[in-house]
Amino acid sequence: MQVSGRNEQRFHPDEVSMPANIIADYEVIIAGAGPAGLATGLHLMRRAPGLAGRTLILEKARHPRPKLCAGGLLPDVFNALEVLDLDVNEVPHVRTNWANFVYQERGFRMHAIDRDFAFYVIRRNEFDAWLATKARERGLEIHEETAVTGMHVAADGVTVETARGVYRAKAVVGADGALSIVRRHVMPREPTRVARTLEVVVPPRTGEAPPHPADEATFEFCEIPGGIQGYVWDFPTQVNGEPMRCWGIYDSRIDTGASRGNLPEALARVMARHGYGPDDYTLESHPVRWFNPRAAFSAPRLLLVGDAAGVDVIFGEGLSPAFGYGALAAGALIDAFAAGDFTFADYGDRVRQSSLGRALQWRVDAARRIYTLRRPQLQRLLWRRMGFLMRPFVNTFLINWTKRFPWG
């Protein structure tokens, strides 16, 4: 079994020097053309096309680019895409009819309250490329293979350094993911609050235990007593039209003082029960930065969205938050340009007080309670006997936040 990491970056604020040659001037630069950056651009285009026309999205890769992610699209993503007049059925997907929440294979299942499925599963290379195409079709400018390597914030604007030259803008949106460079300018000395994940995509297989049904997803919490503050997932997916399974493990690490379980071993234990040996797959890892209500979400001329700002700690669900952050950032930018005030002083409150911020806070509270219960009897009780309480709790507090969201 091999473990490889992606997106490793090093950045030292002291190394940033003032630029000599500005190659282009924009009102807004968005660093990162993932869902959060593209959603910010699409909301700007919807609400302030003039400003969106003077906005540039810088992306270090080229779409379709790989992105480690299980690709589960919750109903909140569907609601968010409807606001943008986008239909995800245009993207290859697998419909997951039930989500099972289990402890040692027994528990309860649920699907969305107002839809006849639990969620869709997409491949991120396909979904993100589709979103980028839509953004371009609507007039947004994206420069690919242009990684942001440094920034300098001054009283009158921000200079953004890239491998291709230096850009200037009045405001910069950090949509550059969990290892955000922009975030390091907003909070240079922040303690790390990231979840760890491992993921593999494998062909369906029958093992000692019956395989999970082809159209169902499973969240297995049996590794919590062993020190994994999260779950092992098994989602149906597809690669180039072929049915596959996406397995992975999520460890929130919300209790920073607790002893830690071994991620590869924990995932291997659960996968072995389904017929997969460690030589059958190569693990990949990428962090998920989770929402911390006390963190900064902005600094003068800088805004954070998506993983750069912080997403769901309990499941690592970041795709619906990406769209909520995008709408909030677009609103903050429109107001800043109208007032000529780029302090973004109230952006953190806008995030925290929105239904997105409140749902993310509920998830922090829930994760603190659930993932610190390390006695097996308690975990068994929670997932096998408390489904009647967990279902309404999930539907009311953790998801469906998009229905109460001020899309603007």
Size of the site for ligand FAD (CB under 6 A): 37
- Closest to ligand FAD by CB, 124 vs 274, is 124
CB of 104 to ligand FAD, least distance (A): 23
Say whether residue 232 binds ligand FAD (CB under 6 A): no
- Closest to ligand FAD by CB, 295 vs 308, is 308
- Closest to ligand FAD by CB, 322 vs 336, is 322
Say whether residue 244 binds ligand FAD (CB under 6 A): no
- How many angstroms separate the CA atoms of 55 and 102, rounded? 46
CB of 181 to ligand FAD, least distance (A): 5
Say whether residue 147 binds ligand FAD (CB under 6 A): yes
Cβ(97)–Cβ(42) under 8 Å? no
Say whether residue 158 binds ligand FAD (CB under 6 A): no
- Closest to ligand FAD by CB, 27 vs 59, is 59
- Closest to ligand FAD by CB, 69 vs 169, is 69
Burial class (CB in 10 A: 0-12, 13-18, 19+), 247: buried
Of 56, 160, 244, 322, which one interacts with ligand FAD (CB under 6 A)?
322
- Closest to ligand FAD by CB, 194 vs 373, is 194
Of 42, 44, 55, 60, which one interacts with ligand FAD (CB under 6 A)?
60
Say whether residue 236 binds ligand FAD (CB under 6 A): no
Of 126, 161, 176, 220, which one interacts with ligand FAD (CB under 6 A)?
176
Say whether residue 27 binds ligand FAD (CB under 6 A): no
Q: Tokens representing 279?
A: 């030589």
Say whether residue 67 binds ligand FAD (CB under 6 A): yes
- Closest to ligand FAD by CB, 262 vs 386, is 262
Say whether residue 58 binds ligand FAD (CB under 6 A): yes
Say whether residue 286 binds ligand FAD (CB under 6 A): yes
What are the residues binding ligand FAD (CB under 6 A)? 31-37, 58-61, 67-72, 147-148, 175-177, 181, 197, 199, 248, 286, 288, 306-308, 311, 316-319, 322
